Structure 1
Amino acid sequence: MFPLKDSIKSNSFPVANSALIILNCMIFWYEISMDRYTLSLFFLEYGLVPVKLFLPGEVVTLSDKIIPFFSSMFLHGGWMHLIGNMYFLYIFGDNVEDMIGHYKYPIMYVLFGLAAAITQVVIYPHSNIPTIGASGAVSGVMGYYFIKFPHSRVKTLVFIIIFVTIVEIPAVIFLGLWFFMQFVNGSSQLMFSTAGGVAWWAHIGGFVAGVLYAITDGKRYVYRGNFI
């Protein structure tokens, strides 16, 4: 399933969401200017490497342990990684920014990303593989959307063997299935004791953080276009 658009129009231009997309793209443009060796060192320094967090202070400084929690969510490992994350952020982020507010939205985006990163570290504390990508933060945005826009529908491109069709799927079903697949894949990854590849548990942690914040922030969508 591939989302094309949702049924709820935003009430204002998504300034913060657009800025986040542009920032991620600009950083990726900087990444592709590097050669392969320099880029691998860049990922090791600014990506989140869980095992580095538990090394003695004289080996890895405190700032080296803290900065990657933030910097890692703005790095991407390739064009498809970047495009996939930014596309989902584009689809779901504008409505979430509408409800949270232009100034608070980027703060919550980063907090969702931090929740995702912490989850990944808790599940794989001894991993020496850099975790990078905006997907944890984007998952938090999707988790918030899941709770706050239950009446929304997602126009979705569906592939059935050799057939392709477009259907409208309730957002709660689309995002619920998405989360279920993250959990299935994350559980399989744990079962076979592999930490590489997709950071499924970061997705899960970010999504849950978005859900919890949506439940507690007290706002709800009103179809007249107002928030109360």
Structure 2
Amino acid sequence: MATYILFWNPDISSYTKERFLDDFSAGDNVGNWSFYEHDDVRTEDVFYMVRCGEGKTGIVMRGEITSACYHDSDWSPKNRRNIYYADIFPYCTINPWSDAPMLTPEILTEAIPDFNWFGGHSGRRISDEMASKLDELFYAYLDENPSMFCRGDATYTYSLEEELPEEIQEKMLARSEGSCEVCGYSYRKVFGDAVNDEYFPRIKPSILQSPGLKRLFYNICLNCYRVPDRTLAAKLLNK
């Protein structure tokens, strides 16, 4: 599974600020995007979209590429011949015209200096090592800023929690020593790694309506996950 970086400058793109805000408000999909490195793009590859240009810049989407690349007419007035697109589906979207803090090009450059995060060709693949660092940085950023979801400044689908990279799941489990952060029970301590796949960091979107939560991701066992949202949120607010 490869990771591609898409760039978006709403001042020059056919995907304008107005289209973004309409899609964000309606929960609609972006559709497709152009890829500079198009030969090896595959379904289920990962993309990050970085807003560049004027205004608040940084990562505005993470999601999945849902098609191979295909040739089509140029979206710009340049009428370039070799333009390829792929369909994309965002798992998480951050509105840069809101109060949401941004994972900026400056922060990205400090963590991953061997890539130009300020712009350039859209649809370039980064190395697996870079992708691993980027995932870790991005999920830590989401985890530290749950209030942007409460305010409606960012959205995510269930796929975001389902697609948590394994190494990030392990780090999140480690901070509570593999125990449920609601009841304290640990399947791992009792049964070892045999039930590892059934126990991972998760949170219900409805719980995000509790603005006092300090994190986005909590380690919640399957039994507690079935508890009514209000009760579960009240327990988490005391953590």
TM-score by length of 2: 0.25
Q: Which of 1 and 2 has higher RCO (CA within 8 Å, sep 6+)?
A: 1
Instruction: Identify the structure with the greater strand proportion.
Output: 2
Structure of higher CA gyration radius: 2
